[in-house]
Amino acid sequence: MNYIEFNFQVNPKHPFTDILVAQLADVGFESFCETDSGVQAYIQECDHSIDILKDIEILNAPGDSEITYTQKTIPQQNWNALWESNFDPVKVGMECMVRAPFHEKHAGFKFDIVIDPKMSFGTGHHDTTMLMIEEVLKLNMVRKRVLDMGCGTALLAILAAKMDAEKIVAIDNEEWAFRNAMENCAANNCQQILVIHGNASNIPNNSFDYILANINKNVLLADMQHYYAHLSTDGRLLISGFFIHDIAQLKTHAENIGLKLLTQVESNSWACMVFVKK
């Protein structure tokens, strides 16, 4: 699958880059990379249209910022080289290290996770993945049942396995992410992880102690009822992949279906929330 890369030059950079990113996320842009002069934004070619930017208010209304951009197509086969050139090991305290196969293992980390990201989201570099890792590390995973929705590389599922979770299901709707997740599970000797190609409608008919969903606001809103239905009583739902300004909407939606907010954490413009089912 190809991606379209938009390279935005934003002057002044702050606070207008954050506003731009929030508005781009609302129309389907999936990931962002801050640059010295603005931000690079990526959207799948199948979700892109010639008028994708017509409703981006900050681009179309006169104001105090000047924003220009260029765009180009990033072929699917180029992503591996891009990841390898930018993928440094991720360290979370001395508890967890996430590294690529071409990085050396470092002694002293409780959990060593090898991830070959290919095109899948979830190497630990993004704020949302880091927030999820930090929250997962706070949980007691011993003999627990875990669901990793929108698993990408299966990083969170693998972390749960290394924390001695008993049964783990990882689901992603992208064929290449599904295959990458299986490869990473095998590379980390995590035989207890069942990887499924599908979406929330493909969740196995059982309950989970923990459901992890690092996706995006729209998918979280659409699928949260599914998560609730498959969450055990007193089970935890951990969600991320959304901006701080989306917290209120997601909290209201979760509470309306019977979940209670336990905690929320933030990093830069991104947020993570933990709910319990009562």
CATH of 3-74, one of 1.10.3470, 3.30.70, 3.40.50, 2.40.128: 3.30.70
The pLDDT of residue 48 is 93
3-74 shares its CATH topology with 126-277: no
Q: Which residues of 66-95 are buried (b: 16+ CB within 10 A; e: fewer)?
A: ebebeeeeeeeeebeeebeeebebbebeee
Q: How many CB atoms lie within 10 A of CB 147?
A: 30
> Token pair for residue 93?
């305290």
In this predicted model, what pLDDT tens digit does every residue of 114-172 receive, in sequence order?
Answer: 988 665 455 556 788 899 999 999 999 999 999 999 998 899 999 999 999 999 999 99
The pLDDT of residue 107 is 85
pTM for the model stands at 0.76
The pLDDT of residue 169 is 98
Please give the torsion angle defined by the CA atoms of residues 178, 179, 180 and 186, in that order, rounded to the nearest 10 degrees.
110
CATH code at 126-277: 3.40.50.150
Which residues make Cβ contacts (< 8 Å) with residue 89, sequence separation at least 6?
Answer: 97, 98, 99, 100, 103, 106
Say how many CA atoms lie within 13 Å of 91 toward its Cβ: 9
In this predicted model, what pLDDT tens digit does every residue of 125-136 receive, in sequence order?
Answer: 678 889 999 999
The one-character DSSP state at 59 is: H
Instruction: Give the 3-state secondary structure of residue 78.
Output: helix
> Token pair for residue 157?
């599922």
- Among 127, 168, 159, which residue's Cα sits nearest to residue 268? 127
The pLDDT of residue 121 is 54
The pLDDT of residue 213 is 97
What's the whole-number mean pLDDT along residues 269-276?
94
Q: Which phi-psi region, left, alpha or beta, contains residue 143 (left: φ > 0; alpha: ψ -120 to 50)?
A: left
Extents of the domains making up the chain: 3-74, 126-277
Residue 209 CA to residue 42 CA, distance in Å, equals: 34
In this predicted model, what pLDDT tens digit does every residue of 19-45 receive, in sequence order?
Answer: 898 889 888 887 777 788 999 888 889
Residue 40 CA to residue 253 CA, distance in Å, equals: 31
Residue 73 CA to residue 43 CA, distance in Å, equals: 10
Whole-Å CA distances, 145 to 16, 176, 208, 229, 265: 42, 25, 5, 15, 24
Whole-Å CA distances, 243 to 99, 104, 184: 26, 34, 28
The pLDDT of residue 22 is 83
**Residue type for 193, please?**
I
Please say whether the beta carbons of 237 and 231 come within 8 A. Answer: yes
In this predicted model, what pLDDT tens digit does every residue of 192-228 receive, in sequence order?
Answer: 999 999 999 999 988 999 999 998 888 999 999 999 9
